[in-house]
């Protein structure tokens, strides 16, 4: 690996700030284009996804899913099973071993394969003159990509700083399960973590101001709320959060209307904020939005013509694959003089609840707000043969289309295997298919994805009148 140095005076073509998914994507893309790249990171290499986000959370989701399957086995006649947590510390240790394995395989061990990339450990920041520095020393670079990620949001609640609250990082590191837990926030992070701990045997209360997955289709939010409650998760809506105080045996959360909730532990899942505040961006002429996200144009360029940004630090589309996608665009535009544009119109997204929630394109509300005259199709999962065979009909599929052209505008799926089906909808949206064309597409029988075909046919047909595979 080449040893670029700050004394080289321009020896580095591109400095990438942040060694997570976006940073690695940008560095590798630029190096493959022939640029000499300095990847600058502080702390553990790999960023949020592999260390404290996607990988550890999904590993534990799968672990407790086995407990649910055991408890639900009785839905099949003649089948009995049971499952229980015998050593949560061992479960967490296995999760951590996977994290370390993937951190090495997908991050640390990748760098030596790229001769044009040097890794620099240190804190990057712009000095008062707008020059890039690392640990206080000037670091010359022709172009810069900011990819410093995000961190858990701490809401402004009286007493929260002294409450010893968990966040999504520390919650996944617990080696002993508490008896009870308040989960504050019912977005995708709150829903996933609440279900993990509830299935592991913790008495969970999920507290929110806007309800479960407020950005999802209302039919899906309502149905998932019911499924979580059926698993024993207590669901509470508050107008606002008043204060948090420690008391014997745990904490007490008080709402602005005087409601009180107590539990042994409090977990904050109220979103994430961009890591933009420690970079002195104003000195470099880099603008941020109201929530701290770095403002970029379609080409991922900031207000400074030599600085681009990608990933969670921009405050949009906070998914690891979108971070990598945006970083590739930023890198190509920065070092190869291209003008590629960021396109999230058919971006698939997934919430790894059970049943899973997945979507792509516009929701009905978004489509109407954009000025479309829309028609919708809502198919309950008990109309999908796969769900009937599995004796698990929790869920539904909703499609949104333009009324005149019949062109698909969006899709959302609530199903135990919904995550593995949404890509078909994303590709249909990318291709500009109509619901008639999706309904005519050949799909394998007894799969969840066949539900997309049935939902498309539901716009104009009664699928109950069709025989199996006759559509």
Same domain, 277 and 265: no
Residue 1 in any domain: the answer is no
Q: Establish whether 63 is an annotated binding residue.
A: no
Same domain, 356 and 431: yes
Residue 471 in any domain: the answer is no
| Residue that terminates a domain, selected from 270, 299, 315 | 270
Same domain, 284 and 360: no
Residue 138 in any domain: the answer is yes
Are 255 and 102 in contact, with CB atoms under 8 Å apart?
Answer: no
Q: Establish whether 190 is an annotated binding residue.
A: yes
Residue 104 in any domain: the answer is yes
Same domain, 133 and 282: yes
Residue 105 in any domain: the answer is yes
Q: Establish whether 186 is an annotated binding residue.
A: yes
Q: Establish whether 315 is an annotated binding residue.
A: no
Residue 56 in any domain: the answer is no
- For residue 470, what pLDDT is reported? 52
CATH number at residue 444: 3.30.390.30
**Rounded-to-integer distance, Cα 290 and Cα 276, Å:** 12
Q: Establish whether 357 is an annotated binding residue.
A: no
Same domain, 208 and 322: no
Same domain, 389 and 318: no
Q: Establish whether 192 is an annotated binding residue.
A: yes
Give the range of the structural domain holding residue 382, as residue numbers without chain letter.
348-464
Token match 């690891």: residue?
A: 320
CATH number at residue 289: 3.50.50.60
Same domain, 382 and 243: no
| Residue that terminates a domain, selected from 250, 270, 290 | 270
Q: Establish whether 294 is an annotated binding residue.
A: no
Q: Establish whether 191 is an annotated binding residue.
A: yes
HSE value, Cβ hemisphere, 13 Å, CA-based, for 435 = 28
Same domain, 431 and 293: no
pLDDT tens by residue, the chain, 471 residues: 344 444 333 479 999 999 999 999 999 999 999 999 999 999 899 999 999 999 999 999 999 999 999 999 999 999 999 999 999 999 999 999 999 999 999 999 999 999 999 999 999 999 999 999 999 999 999 999 999 999 999 999 999 999 999 999 999 999 999 999 999 999 999 999 999 999 999 999 999 999 999 999 999 999 999 999 999 999 999 999 999 999 988 999 999 999 999 999 999 999 999 999 999 999 999 999 999 999 999 999 999 999 999 999 999 999 999 999 999 999 999 999 999 999 999 999 999 999 999 999 999 999 999 999 999 999 999 999 999 999 999 999 999 999 999 999 999 999 999 999 999 999 999 999 999 999 999 999 999 999 999 999 999 998 887 766 655
Same domain, 108 and 175: no
Q: How many domains does the chain have?
A: 3
Q: Establish whether 464 is an annotated binding residue.
A: no
Residue 216 in any domain: the answer is yes
Same domain, 170 and 148: no
Same domain, 143 and 183: no
- For residue 8, what pLDDT is reported? 38
Q: Which of 67, 76, 81, 78 is nearest to 391 (CA)?
A: 76
Q: Establish whether 148 is an annotated binding residue.
A: yes
Q: Establish whether 3 is an annotated binding residue.
A: no
Q: Establish whether 227 is an annotated binding residue.
A: no
**Rounded-to-integer distance, Cα 114 and Cα 229, Å:** 50
Residue 57 in any domain: the answer is no
- For residue 262, what pLDDT is reported? 96
Same domain, 355 and 458: yes
| Residue that terminates a domain, selected from 336, 370, 389 | 336
- What is the value of pTM for the model shown? 0.94
């Amino acid at each position: 690996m080449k040893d670029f140095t700050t004394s080289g005076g321009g020896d580095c073509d591109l400095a990438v700030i942040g060694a997570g998914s976006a940073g690695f994507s940008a560095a590798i893309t630029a190096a493959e284009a022939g640029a000499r790249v300095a990847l600058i990171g502080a702390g553990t290499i790999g960023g949020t996804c592999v260390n404290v986000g996607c990988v550890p959370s999904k590993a534990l989701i799968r672990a407790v899913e086995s407990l649910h399957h055991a408890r639900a086995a009785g839905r099949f006649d003649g089948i009995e099973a049971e499952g229980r947590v015998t050593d949560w510390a061992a479960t967490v240790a296995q999760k951590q071993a996977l994290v370390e394995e993937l951190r090495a395989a997908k991050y640390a061990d990748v760098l030596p394969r790229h001769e044009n990339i040097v890794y620099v450990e240190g804190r990057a920041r712009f000095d008062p003159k707008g020059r890039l520095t690392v640990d206080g020393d000037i670091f010359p670079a022709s172009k810069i990509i900011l990819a410093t990620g995000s961190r858990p949001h701490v809401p402004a609640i009286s007493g929260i700083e002294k409450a010893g609250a968990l966040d999504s990082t520390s919650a996944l590191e617990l080696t002993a399960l508490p008896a009870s837990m308040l989960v504050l926030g019912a977005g995708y992070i709150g829903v996933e973590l609440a279900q993990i701990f509830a299935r592991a045997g913790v008495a969970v209360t999920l507290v929110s101001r806007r309800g479960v997955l407020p950005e999802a289709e209302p039919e899906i939010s309502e149905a998932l709320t019911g499924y979580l409650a059926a698993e024993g998760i207590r669901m509470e809506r508050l107008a606002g959060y008043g204060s948090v105080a420690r008391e014997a045996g745990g904490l007490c959360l008080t709402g602005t209307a005087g409601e009180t909730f107590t539990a042994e532990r409090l977990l904050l899942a109220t979103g994430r904020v961009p890591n933009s505040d420690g970079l002195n961006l104003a000195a470099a002429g880099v603008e941020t939005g109201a929530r701290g996200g770095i403002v970029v144009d379609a080409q991922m360029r900031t207000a400074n013509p030599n600085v681009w940004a990608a990933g969670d630090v921009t405050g949009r589309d906070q998914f690891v694959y979108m971070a990598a996608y945006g970083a590739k665009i930023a890198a190509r535009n920065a070092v190869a003089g291209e003008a590629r544009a960021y396109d999230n119109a058919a971006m698939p997204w997934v919430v790894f609840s059970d049943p899973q929630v997945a979507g792509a394109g516009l929701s009905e509300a978004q489509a109407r707000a954009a000025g479309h005259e829309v028609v919708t199709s809502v198919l309950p999962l008990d109309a999908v043969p796969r769900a009937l065979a599995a004796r698990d009909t929790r869920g539904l599929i909703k499609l949104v289309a333009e009324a005149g052209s019949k062109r698909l505008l969006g899709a959302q799926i609530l199903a135990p295997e919904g995550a593995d089906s949404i890509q078909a909808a994303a590709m249909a949206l990318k291709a500009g298919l109509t619901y008639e064309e999706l309904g005519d597409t050949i799909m394998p029988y007894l799969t969840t994805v066949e539900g997309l075909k049935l939902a498309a046919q539901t716009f104009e047909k009664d699928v109950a009148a069709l025989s199996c595979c006759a559509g």
